[in-house]
Amino acid sequence: MQSHGCKPMASSTVRQIRAITSGVLNAAVRWDWIASNPAKVAQRPRQPPPQPNPPSPEQAVRMVKKAFQLDEAWGTLVWLVMTTGMRRGEVCALRWSRIDLDAKA
């Protein structure tokens, strides 16, 4: 078989496409456009277990110090993420209007 330069899709891409397609087909079922969702029988590619590689405490300290040297706001953000373990979505959802620095809790 001749290759046309196409690479196989990553499993994460296939999972995303399947999730979107399944959602669309679920809506089609709700709207009585189709009788059942054929995506329900499609197998999802296995998701590999996470392989976290966190920095050592010494590396984390160096990263925070360097971030503060570059910019105080950047250093504050890096420190916040390192000390709380916040995820990207949680950090993006932060709003100054919802922070009360005088609260005792």
> What is the predicted pLDDT for the residue at 105?
64
Instruction: Kindly report the pTM of this predicted structure.
Output: 0.51
> pLDDT confidence of 32, banded at 50, 70, 90?
very high
Say whether 47 sits in a helix, a strand or coil.
Answer: coil
User: Averaged over 65-76, what is the pLDDT?
Assistant: 95
Domain residue ranges of the chain, discontinuous segments joined by +? 11-41, 57-98
Handedness of CA 59, 64, 67, 68 (dihedral sign): negative
> pLDDT confidence of 7, banded at 50, 70, 90?
confident
* DSSP annotation string for 32-69: TSSSS-GGGGSPPPPPPPP---PPPHHHHHHHHHHHHH
